[in-house]
Amino acid sequence: MQSIPEIIRTIPLTHYIMLSSALFCIGILGVLTRRNAIIVFMAIELMLNAVNLLLAAFSSYYSDPAGQIFVFFIMAVAAAEVAVGLAIIVMIYRNIQSIDIGVLNKLKN
Amino acid sequence: MTAIIALSLLGILNLFLGFWLSRKTIQAATLLFLAGSMALTAMDWNHEMLWYGHMFHTTNTSISFSLIIQLAAFMVVSFSKGFGIDEEHTHPAEYYAILLFSVVGAILMVSFDHLIMFFVGLEILSVAMYVLTGSDKRNLRSNEAALKYFLMGSFATGILLFGITLVYGATRSFYLVNIAQAIANTPPESTPVFLSIGVLLILVGFLFKISAAPFHFWTPDVYEGAPTIFTMFMSTVVKAASFAALYQLLSGPFGTMYGTWVYPIYYISMLTLLVGNITAVYQQSAKRMLAYSSISHAGYMLLTVSANQASTPSTILYYSLSYTLATIVAFGVVMLVAEYQTGRTEKPENFSSFEGLAKQNPGLAFCFTIALLSLAGIPLTAGFWGKFFVFSDIFNRHVYYPVILAIVMSAVGVYYYFKGIIAIYFKEGDIERIELPGLVKFAMWACTLGTLLLGVYPSIVKNLF
């Protein structure tokens, strides 16, 4: 049986870079165009996961575990961010019964 | 370094203290903890050391930045008379604990030697700040600020991470030393394209965090919406830590790629100076004016980073310290006056609510004036020397356009800072005497005297290392 790094290496590295960049750009577009806070939030997670994928690919290609360790850190930190972010969104929903970020414009003069 | 472990444990202890102790006692305990961790940090002075598998590096530079950060946290805690408006819904122990945790993140950010350490530090600081921004739960403005800060902050983190990944792909390491070696050893023609893209993406992520134009749009809203005490913390600690980290990254591993990042930084710092200063002129709210002023100060500090001279770290240190001292007093006085005016006027944070402050509160007015003068860069205050060092650093690079623009913009700055001073001294108003608790008085005068002392003897800090 082939080990996982070898299977990963059967696809050229540039393809991983292209895929991750595409996912990352979709994430950026999502953040910039969507108005629902949860969807914006999901788009940010998509950006982080594009990063994770690329890190894992680089790490397998270079046979260097550091990249995959970084992935664990990103996942842990993203979980912490999700906890705080969802709490903020719930707090807003309790106050205005909506999570549309267009409604929040009290601070614009 | 032991201060990180100590602060993390003391933060947890602080959470438990909330069960038994009153707010006053917890505040005193937090101050004691911060003083203790400052002593622990200072003990490492002149002992350059690598910690935690060479991921963490204490040098005199990083120690002095850690001390500034803890000093800022100390002053902010002294200013916090109590969080929130009503007794029932505030949880002082939690807020003090989160402050301590975020200080841990900031210390990691100024002394990292490995990109994982940097990322973890940045996130500890940022996630703590998201919570603190939204801590006024029933206030819609605070909610909005928290959501904006959270979305923009994690967006910036995503971009920064993608940059770090590309740099890792090009250099095969997260250690700053190895990255520097890999970049220096590869001939320019065989360097992968994505190395410079990675560096620029890291830069963009940073520009979001330090609120440089054109990535500044969240700053005024977040600074205005957050409770003032946390705005004070955000604009000092986050900024000092981010600039120290940015300088460490750009001068260390990416130092040989000077040509790639210096021109973007020149243009962005000029844009930041223009946008920050000119928009600040039109602000009616003192808090919002200070937010734009913090954007413009980010422009000055970016200029120093781009100079990349031997004297740059001490210039950034001096500028951070002078900016921190002045900003804490300025936001502090805005907070005190706004608290007094709440219910009396419609918009308690506007300049109009400061009118006639000097009559009954000469001390408060004096401290506010010194803080604004220092931010404007008037001689005999720390801000003047801060700007002077920035300009002379960049002048030694033989780059003149940004300096000329920066000098013109600091003249614009004098105009809007003096709006506050004029409102205090030359307008009629009926502000009664505002009673200050002892700690607030202490923090205010300590920062003001520090500003004046640094203005007269700038060499105390400038020649530190």
Q: Across the interface, which of A64, A80, A92 has its CB nearest the CB of B127?
A: A80
Q: DSSP secondary-structure letter at B351? A: G
Cβ neighbours for A55, distance < 8 A, ≥ 6 positions apart:
A67, A68, A70, A71, A74, B165, B168
**pLDDT band at residue B84, thresholds of 50, 70 and 90?**
very low
In CATH terms, the fold of domain A4-96 is Helix Hairpins (1.10.287)
Q: Is B94 in contact with B240 (CB distance < 8 Å)?
A: no
Contacts of B164 in chain A (CB under 8 A): 70
Mean pLDDT computed over B345-352: 84
pLDDT at B349: 85
Does residue B173 belong to the interface with chain A, where contact is any CB pair within 8 Å?
yes
Per-residue pLDDT of A84-96, as tens digits, reads 999 999 999 998 8
Does residue A96 belong to the interface with chain B, where contact is any CB pair within 8 Å?
yes
Does residue B281 belong to the interface with chain A, where contact is any CB pair within 8 Å?
no
Q: Across the interface, which of B138, B144, B284 has its CB nearest the CB of A104?
A: B144
Does residue A93 belong to the interface with chain B, where contact is any CB pair within 8 Å?
no
Report the domain count for chain B.
1
Has residue B252 got a pLDDT over 60? yes
pLDDT at B48: 85
pLDDT at B219: 92
Terminal C-alpha separation, chain A: 64
Nearest CA in chain B to A62: B172
Q: Across the interface, which of A62, A70, A107 has its CB nearest the CB of B116?
A: A70
Contacts of B162 in chain A (CB under 8 A): 24, 47, 50-51, 54
Q: Is B305 in contact with B250 (CB distance < 8 Å)?
A: yes
Cβ neighbours for B185, distance < 8 A, ≥ 6 positions apart:
none
Contacts of A51 in chain B (CB under 8 A): 158, 161-162, 165
pLDDT at B342: 82
pLDDT at B296: 94
Q: DSSP secondary-structure letter at B57? A: E
Q: Is B114 in contact with B35 (CB distance < 8 Å)?
A: no
Instruction: Give the domain ranges of chain A.
Output: 4-96
Contacts of A82 in chain B (CB under 8 A): none
At position B283, the amino acid (one-letter code) is: Q
Contacts of B286 in chain A (CB under 8 A): none
**pLDDT band at residue B333, thresholds of 50, 70 and 90?**
very high
Instruction: With CB atoms and an 8 Å threshold, state whether B119 touches A74.
Output: yes
pLDDT at B83: 53
**pLDDT band at residue B355, thresholds of 50, 70 and 90?**
confident
Considering only residues A23 and B461, tell me which one the structure prediction assigns the higher pLDDT. Answer: A23
pLDDT at B85: 47
Q: Across the interface, which of A55, A64, A88 has its CB nearest the CB of B146?
A: A88
Does residue A109 belong to the interface with chain B, where contact is any CB pair within 8 Å?
yes
Locus of tokens 């994430």: A27
Instruction: With CB atoms and an 8 Å threshold, state whether B165 touches A58.
Output: yes
Instruction: With CB atoms and an 8 Å threshold, state whether B221 touches A109.
Output: no
Instruction: With CB atoms and an 8 Å threshold, state whether B224 touches A107.
Output: yes
Distance CA B70, CA B34 (A): 7
Q: Across the interface, which of B145, B150, B162 has its CB nearest the CB of A85?
A: B150
pLDDT at A45: 94
Does residue A92 belong to the interface with chain B, where contact is any CB pair within 8 Å?
yes
pLDDT at B352: 86
Distance CA B308, CA A29 (A): 35
Name the minimum distance, in Å, from the CA of B126 to any CA of chain A: 9
Mean pLDDT computed over B305-311: 85
Does residue B127 belong to the interface with chain A, where contact is any CB pair within 8 Å?
yes
pLDDT at B90: 67
Residue B50: CA atoms inside 13 Å, Cβ hemisphere, count? 8
**pLDDT band at residue B427, thresholds of 50, 70 and 90?**
confident
Name the minimum distance, in Å, from the CA of A14 to any CA of chain B: 11
Name the minimum distance, in Å, from the CA of A8 to any CA of chain B: 15
Considering only residues B343 and B247, tell me which one the structure prediction assigns the higher pLDDT. Answer: B247
Domain assignment of residue B115, given as a range = 2-462
Cis ω on the peptide bond leading into residue B313 (within 30° of 0)? Answer: no
Has residue A42 got a pLDDT over 90? yes
Mean pLDDT computed over B304-311: 86
Instruction: With CB atoms and an 8 Å threshold, state whether A91 touches B225.
Output: no
pLDDT at A33: 92
pLDDT at B203: 94
Distance CA B356, CA A104 (A): 35
Instruction: With CB atoms and an 8 Å threshold, state whether B161 touches A95.
Output: no
Interface-testing mutation among B142, B143, B175, B178, with chain A (most A C-beta atoms within 10 A): B143
Does residue B94 belong to the interface with chain A, where contact is any CB pair within 8 Å?
no
Does residue A64 belong to the interface with chain B, where contact is any CB pair within 8 Å?
yes
Does residue B182 belong to the interface with chain A, where contact is any CB pair within 8 Å?
no
Has residue B89 got a pLDDT over 90? no
Has residue B325 got a pLDDT over 70? yes
Name the minimum distance, in Å, from the CA of A39 to any CA of chain B: 11
Interface-testing mutation among B144, B159, B193, with chain A (most A C-beta atoms within 10 A): B144
Name the minimum distance, in Å, from the CA of B96 to any CA of chain A: 17
Per-residue pLDDT of B106-165, as tens digits, reads 999 999 999 999 999 999 999 999 999 988 888 888 888 999 999 999 999 999 999 999
**pTM value?**
0.93
pLDDT at B375: 94
* Average pLDDT of chain A, as a whole number: 89
Q: Is B195 in contact with B166 (CB distance < 8 Å)?
A: yes
Mean pLDDT computed over B365-373: 94
Contacts of A29 in chain B (CB under 8 A): none
User: Can you list the pairs that B273-277 forms with residues at least 24 positions away whose Cβ atoms lie under 8 Å?
Assistant: B273/B299, B273/B300, B273/B405, B273/B406, B273/B409, B274/B213, B274/B405, B274/B409, B275/B213, B275/B214, B275/B216, B276/B213, B276/B216, B277/B409, B277/B410, B277/B412, B277/B413, B277/B416
Instruction: With CB atoms and an 8 Å threshold, state whether A67 touches B162.
Output: no
What percentage of chain B has pLDDT greater than the value 90? 61
